Structure 1
């Protein structure tokens, strides 16, 4: 009788251990699945100006209100404003780091030195997520025109708008600087029509007086629209980085040139 009771107790104990193991495994699987399902939302950025047209040669406050999941982002890695006059092209752009003033607001003070239409991109990095909304702003008094000119201007505006939709926004990361003899990351973010340029063929063409010939380095896409490659600069000096991006099957071929300074 004692032997039978002992056997029964051992059997019940084994059943309890098996049940605990199953519950624990189920809980771990549930937690793992829940963790994988939690994908960070892309931050939203609203660029704000004063009333347009903005005055020429006067300090103007430009703000970026950054939110994520409808909550203000207080710890963005950076918010940089890239600004250029359309008549001069993006190669004349200036990039200015914004200061966080609280409640998810990042701002700069900027003086527009001439009238015209300007493009402003708010390059924003929050964790692994990058977004770069582009807005247009008018600076200086608008000029009046005759009805014929107005008609022509309207057609040109429509064409410009269509061209802008096809434009690519390329942001090469050079804020952290580059040092000779150290492996460093070359990083660029590319958007097409304000959407990440995904699954593209991207390479960095590197040239300098420090080098005998041009060097091409293929980049890999790490995040949607973010392309990264590793490179070690041989010596200090000025280098030209040309970012080539393409999708041959869609007849997309483009490039953007950047100049960097490599230090000792």
Structure 2
């Protein structure tokens, strides 16, 4: 009789442990799913159109799973005049103010239409929404509409790491098309420098939607040009963007 009682007690203990483990697994799965959600970024301007030669506030509200994100790894605003092109862009680091809101103050010295990308990194997830904004009366009269960026690509090479000669470096690029990750594309890095006899071509692999990485060991210190080629032949898309980096000894 005692053996039967002990056997039943053992079954109850095992069953309770199993339920507890299932609950823990379920809780862990929910946390992982929440962590995997791509952060959402809403960019807002203090004025539209923005006055010329006056300090104005630009803010990005960052949420993930519907909750504010007060501890993003970084939020950076990349800004350039549409006529001058992205090669003329400047990048400004935003500061967290409250409840997932990150802001900068900026003065625009030239009238026209500007592009503003909010590069946002939360854990291992990156998003980079692009907005168009008018500055001055000339831009207001030009007929550009806020948020009209159909067909536009946003290409961002991550350069916040230290590239060292003789050590393997990871090249990471995020590509968005019409504010959505540009997935399942053919992406390769064309690497050139005065320190190299010929250009090197390195195929990139898509790790996350719209995120393409490749490893490369720079042979010498100095300035390098990274030409990012991205294409979808079936859709007749083939474009590239050049970035410059410095490699240290």
More helix by share: 1
Select 1:224's aligned residue among 209, 224, 231. 209
8 Å contact from structure 2 (residues 204, 212) kept in 1: yes
Select 1:13's aligned residue among 6, 29, 41. 6
Instruction: Report whether the alignment pairs 1:71 with 2:67.
Output: yes
Regions of 4+ moved over 6 Å: none
> CA separation in 2, counterparts of 1:73 and 1:27?
30
Select 1:28's aligned residue among 9, 18, 21. 21
Normalising by structure 1, we get a TM-score of: 0.83
Which one is further off, 205-214 or 247-256?
A: 247-256
Structure 1 pair 112–144 and aligned structure 2 pair: CA distance change class (3 A)? closer
Backbone CA RMSD of aligned residues: 2.4
Select 2:102's aligned residue among 103, 106, 109. 106
Instruction: Report whether the alignment pairs 1:82 with 2:78.
Output: yes
Select 2:222's aligned residue among 237, 241, 248. 237
Instruction: Report whether the alignment pairs 1:204 with 2:204.
Output: no
Give the equivalent residue in structure 2 for 1:5: none
Question: Displacement of 1:248 after TM fit?
Answer: 2.5
Question: Displacement of 1:50 after TM fit?
Answer: 2.1
Give the equivalent residue in structure 2 for 1:148: none
Give the equivalent residue in structure 1 for 2:119: 123
Q: After superposition, what is the alpha-carbon deviation per residue over 1:36-62, rounded to whole angstroms, capped at 9, x for unaligned? A: 244123222221222222222333222
Structure 1 pair 102–143 and aligned structure 2 pair: CA distance change class (3 A)? closer
> CA separation in 2, counterparts of 1:104 and 1:96?
17
Instruction: Report whether the alignment pairs 1:93 with 2:89.
Output: yes
SS at match of 2:138: coil
Question: Displacement of 1:206 after TM fit?
Answer: 0.9
8 Å contact from structure 1 (residues 53, 142) kept in 2: no
Select 1:182's aligned residue among 167, 183, 194. 167
> CA separation in 2, counterparts of 1:176 and 1:87?
30
Question: For structure 2, which runs of at least 5 residues remain unmatched after alignment?
Answer: none
Q: After superposition, what is the alpha-carbon deviation per residue over 1:81-107, rounded to whole angstroms, capped at 9, x for unaligned? A: 111111111222112211223332222
Please tell me whether Structure 1 or Structure 2 has the larger radius of gyration of its CA atoms: 1
> CA separation in 1, counterparts of 2:140 and 2:225?
42
Report how many residues are paired: 245
Normalising by structure 2, we get a TM-score of: 0.88
Structure 1 pair 24–144 and aligned structure 2 pair: CA distance change class (3 A)? closer
Question: For structure 1, which runs of at least 5 residues remain unmatched after alignment?
Answer: 1-7, 146-152
Which one is further off, 187-196 or 90-99?
A: 90-99
